[in-house]
Structure 1
Amino acid sequence: MAIQVTRRQLIKALAAAGMLSQLPTANVFANTNAVGKGNTKPLYIDGLSFLPEDLADLKASKLDAYLCDISAIEAIEQADGTTNYKRTYNACVKSIGEALTRVNANPDKLLLGRNAKDIQTAHDSGRTAVFFQIQGADCVEQSINQDLNQMDEFYERGLRVLQLTHHYGNLFSGGALDNDGKQGLNLPLTKVGHQLLHKLNSKRMLIDVSHSSPQSALDSAKASRAPIVQSHGAVRAIVNHARCSPDEVIRAIADTGGLFGVFMMTFWLTTEHAPTTDHYLAQLKHVANVGGIDAVAIANDYPLGGHEKLLELNNDNAEGVKQYVEWWHSLRARGVLGFDHEPQHVVIPALNHIERMERIDSALSRAGFSSGDRAKIMGGNWQRVLTEVLG
């Protein structure tokens, strides 16, 4: 009888046998902590942010690379007169074109990430590599009967990461906030979703299950032939919320060889009154305990400099959280898991800052993480996954 072994189990077995050091350096399991000569800072790679208005933020952030959300939304009037907002094909074709124009116009600061080698190229040249990402597969829904060929077009324009859905389900995936009015729905990956995963695997594009339902994430982990990621999210064992991931999802992602990025949206990091860096570290530690140190990564989900509204408010969380309350209460009325408690904050003040990555790195050091583990968390794990998936 054949015995199935996950990537994570293989890594552990090789390490126990003392064989990891014998693997060639080009192997995807090789040490990913190498940086430019004479530089002891690990690679800093972030799971999700945006092109900044002020490109000086790139250098100030000290990021070598990041997944860059370039998607845009289009307002769609529904038959019942309501309006839905989707990352449609038309909106995203326009936004990716604009993003590519901006990257190409600033070759001294930005490098379009097409494969993992671009991370080191950017690092060595003092630039930042950006890997274009779209938060939701609505952008390819128009091509269901055309072999999903719009993915070919987006790939040629530079897209390398596709998130299956954003909050709510679509033709491909169940969403984290899908709800039937009484209890949460845990919808699976659809038949067309399986076709999309096959397309992404064949194109060597990274599959992102952020915002997916737990079942869709589990289905994606099982169906994908390459590592998948949750680029930005949080842990349900710490905050029992629909937008946070159960341990089985974290474990399944890790078993593909993928990673889980913990983001900065603090109402999903802790239910305590005042969010601190320790709450963020607790999330990272939990992911490491469940999925292993190779599954842990950093994410933002805010602009590089931080949540701009909170920065304007001098990180006054009590004032800043007011912008989310109406939306939060609307989901509470629908009975979505976790919205029964009142949100009290938006950011960790110490980390809502352009030097966020450096501060997290220092906090990890103070917490006793080894230099090798810190290097993996701060960017090495992203480099490894992008190498295996993108080449």
Structure 2
Amino acid sequence: MTNLHRRSLIKALGASALLSALPTGVLAAKSLRPLYIDGLSFLPDSLDDLAASGLSAYLCDISAIEEVKQEDGTLNYKRTYNACIKSIADAGKRVSDNPGQLLQGLSAKDIKNARESGRTAVFFQIQGADCVEERLSQVDEFYQKGLRVMQLTHHYGNSFAGGALDSDEHGGLNLPLSPKGYALVDKLNDSGILIDLSHSSPQTALDTIAASRMPVVQSHGAARAIVNHARCSPDQVIRAIADSGGVFGTFMMSFWLTTSSTPTVEHYLAQLKHVARVGGIDAVAIANDYPLRGQENLLKLNNDNAEGVKEYLDWWHSLRAKKVLGFDHEPVHVVIPELNHIERMSRIHDALKDAGFSAADADKIMGGNWQRVLQQVLV
């Protein structure tokens, strides 16, 4: 059986299991909120944001970082073991202290539980495998504390994987998955932890997909065919993620969604449509990568992109000096104003329907695809 056939079978079995797990009439129950699942956000300062967002569940980055100055003078942010083992414990305590609003997502069943009880399930994620510093058994420690999604790297490479921003304009530093990385992929598969390719180099992404026995995802990203940038994914990667049975979450960072001077909801829809053309509707998903309310500084500026983009320019120019793909284009915006809002999910849902997506396809994009993958991977 080929990998493609095997992955198609996994996807079909996962969808069948998901439907059979739902009690009769659940989908039609008027009391249930729409199924909205976000590919990446954070625990909010105000728990009132949970209900306001309308989310049934989301992948929740609980990382803690240490700022590291690299040899070339640019900054990287390492998710170290000590920082993350403390941050995941702190996050777990906050969830357990607020059982009326939060539910720690340990299996896909918790999405249904949260949806029926009016709570929000949070699936803990760490943005980078740097936290696995000494031995693979540290993965077990994080799993026991609730980790269910692990990103292999963040922007730059580590001992496991190549980073998206390690790739120069000629692809000469497009680093592959390392031998340690292959061992980590096996460990994550065995542990029932979802592998997240966000921030990985294209070659690391393709190597990981080929090695993984389970679907993999990119929780938050965009298409390079639309914005030719190292942080955006080539079609080959999007297609391979889809073939694995995984999903590709399109995020809210507008300078990676469009090069137009004024970002709009139509530009966001164009990204979703591109993923659907390349990988099929079952691969399309929503992501944020900002707090639930939105990018905080832009909200304070009433979504004034011309002013808000200034906070990114020093970092942007440092990568331009390294000739990393796409940083030669000066960013002029940060957010799509209409979507930099606590109600972004319902606004996207409305936009999908207005754009002619069927109700069934819109439901997949808004949460059904995420639910299917979590059902297949989490044990």
Shorter-chain TM-score tier: over 0.9
Residue in 1 aligned with 2:295? 307
Q: 2:165 & 2:131 partners in 1: Cα distance?
A: 20
2:96 alignment partner in structure 1: 104
Matches of 2:197 and 2:19, distance apart in 1? 23
Cα distance change, pair 99–353 in 1 and its aligned pair in 2 (3 A): same
Deviation of 1:74 after TM superposition, in Å, equals 1.6
Shift of 1:30: 6.8
RMSD over aligned CA atoms reads 2.3
- CA 1:36–1:165 in structure 2 vs 1: closer, same or farther (change >3 Å)? farther
- Give runs of aligned pairs for residues 68-217 of structure 1, distance below 5 A: 68-76=60-68, 84-143=76-135, 148-179=136-167, 184-217=172-205
Q: Distance in 2 between matches of 1:181 and 1:243?
A: 12
Counterpart position of 1:57: 49
Structure 1, gaps ≥5 residues long: 13-19
Normalised by the size of structure 1, how large is the TM-score?
Answer: 0.91
User: Residues 155 and 36 (structure 1 numbering): CA distance in 2 closer, same or farther, change over 3 Å?
Assistant: farther
Cα distance in 2 for residues equivalent to 1:206 and 1:100? 18
**One-letter identity of the residue aligned with 1:149:** S
Find the aligned partners of 2:26 and 2:222 in 1 and give their Cα distance: 28
Which residue in the other structure is 1:16 paired with?
A: none
Match of 2:367 in 1: 379
Q: Equivalent of 1:354, from 334, 339, 342?
A: 342
Partner of 2:39: 47
Aligned mates of 1:292, 1:34 — CA distance in 2: 26
How many Å separate the matches in 2 of 1:363 and 1:31?
Answer: 30
Tell me whether 230-239 or 176-185 shows the greater mean CA deviation. 176-185
Compute the displacement of 1:97 (Å): 1.1
Q: Give the structure 1 partner of residue 245 of structure 2.
A: 257
Q: TM-score under structure 2 normalisation?
A: 0.94
Are 1:220 and 2:242 matched, yes or no?
no
**Which ranges in structure 2 are unaligned for 5 or more consecutive residues?**
none
1:232, 1:262 within 8 Å by CA — same for their partners in 2?
yes
Which letter does structure 2 place at the counterpart of 1:136?
Answer: G
Per-residue deviation, 1:109 = 0.3
- Partners of 1:331 and 1:225 lie apart in 2 by 35
* C-alpha distance in structure 1 between counterparts of 2:3 and 2:149, whole Å: 28
Looking at structure 1, the residues matched to 267 and 46 of structure 2 have their Cα atoms a distance apart, in angstroms, of 30
1:151-193 per-residue CA deviation (whole Å, 9 max, x = no partner) reads: 0000000000000000000010000000469755211101010
Number of residue-to-residue matches in the alignment: 377
Q: How far 1:198 sits from its partner (Å)? A: 0.3
The verdict on how the C-alpha distance between 1:363 and 1:81 changes in structure 2, with shifts beyond 3 A counting, is closer
How far did residue 26 of structure 1 move?
5.1
Q: Tell me the secondary structure at the aligned position of residue 17 of structure 2.
A: coil
- Whether the aligned pair in 2 keeps the contact of 1:6 and 1:256 (CA below 8 Å) is no
Structure 1 pair 156–44 and aligned structure 2 pair: CA distance change class (3 A): same
CA contact (8 A) 2:161 2:176 kept: yes
| In structure 1, C-alpha distance between the alignment counterparts of 2:71 and 2:243, rounded to whole Å | 42
CA contact (8 A) 2:36 2:57 kept: yes
Percent identity between matched residues is: 69
